[in-house]
Amino acid sequence: MFEINEEEFDLKSDPKKMFGIQGREKDKGKFKAFDYKEGRFVTNLAHQTMWNDKSYVEGLVSYMNKENPEYEFKVIERK
């Protein structure tokens, strides 16, 4: 019988939607894609870190905005 281990399989994620982080210096210029693993802004979207769990990304963005007051981060959806 096939069983799903809920700890290994995120039932809240949506594989059709991907979410990333964009950021910028507060009140300056355009938002840029963010590579979370490297902790840097990127111009090539292929290097942007993406997730399929929006609530997880929202938590990261909330934490990043609180800990980095000189920057502004937001969640974006890629299709």
The count of other CB atoms within 10 Å of the CB of residue 33 is 21
39 lies in some domain: yes
pTM for the model: 0.77
10 lies in some domain: no
d(CA 2, CA 24): 46
3 lies in some domain: no
8 lies in some domain: no
**Domain that includes residue 58, residue range:** 18-78
68 lies in some domain: yes
For 34-70, what is each residue's pLDDT tens digit? 999 999 999 999 999 999 999 999 999 999 999 999 9
Residue 64, token pair as written in the block: 């990043």
Give the count of domains, the chain.
Answer: 1
